[in-house]
């Protein structure tokens, strides 16, 4: 999978605070035994005295959330929710400070990803791009799978949105481990965050190890050719390389799940490329859009387009012999099959789309 090095970054599960502690109610008083009235002259019965009878204790005041407390169950539930959130947050900070958390051999920090990184990306996913997710159940509930998607958008936000889609919408809440380009791991801060989020270098060895461990791995074979293509070529898939991702899936015997993303092409309409400046900065391209660099940092704000991410029917690979991974004709045919399925789905999604923004 030699060409995979140009694939850019785009790619205890339960959440919540500390367990709820029970609160014991004070024991209630023992009711007085009924008193048989003594015989006496006929006449109206004497009124019962107000207050507790002799030998009995006044009832305890109702606790918060019980009938008669004046607050109601909703108020109590809200208070308990905030208490649990605060307790959970403090426990999370304590684990981070003391180092009492786990990362895998690739640097993936599941707790940080679930509680922090996903929480930061979720508003962008749900409110800004309003992503519609289709067919996510085509990713198996367990075991390895290779998700292959188109790539676009000038900046690799599509990979991040695809990660949120798998994490939040898959019935098993699976994590997507993206294969990223060398450039991602050369950038300060970005490199550390990519590792913490579960992503790794786009090489055959790392991909095979993840798939053999039963992880869902994401790859975008268009690489920089897809993410940096001009706006006039939007939704036209670029070359998928020499089929290195197919060889990896065949060796691991995992299904290939095609994924089509609509909406990312328009977030930064790339109308030009300052190649000289890109070479000076060491970037594969330097985009020029209607707003960047003319508006400065404000021009880096993506347009709020409406997205759709559709996961297609998986293509099985476990029926092939082990030596099939070395068959160039088979790799070419499977690569072309995946590419055509993604392209066809893109056209269908574009036809049904009402507007770029709605």
133-175 pLDDT, tens digit per residue, is 999 999 999 999 999 999 999 999 999 999 999 999 999 999 9
List b or e across 38-51, with b for residues whose CB sees 16 or more CB atoms inside 10 angstroms.
Answer: eeeeeeeeeeeeee
Residue 196 has pLDDT above 90, yes or no: yes
pLDDT of residue 305: 97
Residue with the bigger pLDDT between 82 and 345: it is 345
- Beta bridge mates, 228: none
Residue 6 has pLDDT above 60, yes or no: no
Give the torsion sign (CA, 280, 283, 285, 288): negative
Q: What is the pTM of this model?
A: 0.76
Terminal alpha carbon distance of the chain: 39
Three-state SS for 277?
helix
Q: How far apart are the C-alpha atoms of 75 and 96, rounded to whole Å?
A: 32
pLDDT of residue 80: 67
212-226, 250-264, 314-328: least confidently modelled range = 314-328
Which band of pLDDT confidence, cut at 50, 70 and 90, is reported for residue 89?
confident
Q: Once rounded to an integer, what is the mean pLDDT over residues 226-238?
A: 94
Q: How far apart are the C-alpha atoms of 204 and 245, rounded to whole Å?
A: 8
Long-range contacts of 184-187 (CB under 8 A, 24+ apart): 184/8, 184/9
Residue 39 has pLDDT above 80, yes or no: no
Residue 3 has pLDDT above 50, yes or no: no
Three-state SS for 259?
strand
Three-state SS for 179?
strand
Q: The sheet that has 176-180: what strands, in order across it?
A: 132-134, 308-311, 256-262, 145-149, 216-219, 176-180, 200-201
Q: Once rounded to an integer, what is the mean pLDDT over residues 277-306?
A: 93
Six token digits for residue 64: 């918060």
């Amino acid at each position: 999978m030699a060409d995979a090095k140009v694939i850019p970054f785009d790619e205890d599960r339960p959440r919540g605070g500390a367990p709820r502690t029970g609160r014991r109610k004070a024991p209630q008083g023992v009711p007085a035994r009924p008193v048989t009235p003594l015989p006496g002259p006929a006449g109206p019965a004497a009124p019962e005295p107000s207050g507790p009878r002799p030998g009995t204790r006044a009832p305890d005041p109702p606790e918060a959330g019980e009938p008669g407390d004046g607050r109601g169950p909703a108020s109590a539930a809200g208070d308990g929710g905030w208490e649990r959130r605060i307790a959970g947050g403090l426990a999370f900070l304590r684990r981070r400070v003391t180092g009492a958390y786990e990362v895998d051999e690739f640097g993936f920090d599941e707790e940080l990803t679930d509680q922090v990184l996903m929480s930061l990306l979720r508003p962008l996913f749900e409110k800004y791009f309003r992503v519609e997710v289709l067919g996510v159940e085509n990713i198996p509930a367990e075991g390895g799978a290779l998700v292959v998607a188109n790539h676009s958008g000038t900046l690799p936000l599509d990979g991040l949105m695809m990660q949120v889609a798998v994490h939040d919408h898959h019935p098993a809440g699976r994590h997507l481990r993206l294969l990223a380009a060398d450039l991602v791991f050369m950038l300060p801060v970005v490199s550390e965050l990519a590792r913490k989020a579960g992503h790794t270098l786009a090489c055959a060895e790392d991909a095979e190890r993840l798939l053999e461990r039963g992880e869902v791995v994401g790859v975008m074979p268009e690489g920089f050719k897809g993410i940096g293509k001009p706006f006039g070529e939007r939704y036209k898939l670029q070359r998928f390389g020499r089929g290195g991702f197919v060889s990896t899936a065949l060796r691991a015997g995992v299904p290939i799940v095609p994924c089509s993303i609509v909406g990312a092409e328009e977030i930064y309409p790339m109308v030009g490329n300052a190649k000289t400046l890109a070479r000076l900065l060491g970037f594969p391209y330097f985009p020029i859009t209607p707003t960047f660099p003319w508006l400065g940092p404000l021009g880096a704000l993506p347009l709020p387009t409406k997205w759709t991410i559709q996961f297609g029917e998986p293509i099985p690979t476990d029926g092939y012999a082990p030596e099939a991974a070395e068959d160039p004709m088979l790799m070419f045919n499977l690569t072309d099959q995946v590419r055509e399925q993604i392209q066809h789905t893109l056209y269908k999604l574009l036809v049904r789309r009402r507007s770029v923004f709605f």
